[in-house]
Amino acid sequence: MTNIEKVIIVEGRTDKLQIEKLIIENVKIICTNGTLGVERLEELLINYDLDNKDVFILVDEDSAGQKLRKQLSIELPHAEHIYIDKTFREVAATPESELAIALLNRRIKVNPIFLI
């Protein structure tokens, strides 16, 4: 198994599927399925060695997403944030080209066909 150095944390499965389509490097995408309890968050930190990875937070631009982003920011202060335009509200509803540019801006390799 190749050593994964980058991790993207998203809210749901549709977000994960949308991002998987775009990226062309070995990145682990973790779904939180909403807000995280302390135990679940500890589990993620340990299981994925998040303190020693490049962590990116990509969540919806709604109240639940902002709450999750705030929670993750406290536990993972080194994480980089990827934002989508508020007009799209949800990661899964964001056009592929917009998502691809947002990922590329954080040094995550994407398939160039999505940059059109």
CATH topology of domain 6-107: Dna Topoisomerase Vi A Subunit; Chain: A, domain 2 (3.40.1360)
CB atoms within 10 A of CB 55: 23
**Structure pTM?**
0.94
Residues paired with residue 12 on neighbouring β-strands, in sequence order: none
pLDDT, residue 1, reads: 43
CB atoms within 10 A of CB 116: 7
pLDDT in tens, 16-68: 999 999 999 999 999 998 778 889 889 999 999 999 999 999 999 999 999 99
Q: What's the rounded Cα separation, in Å, for the pair 30 and 44? A: 9
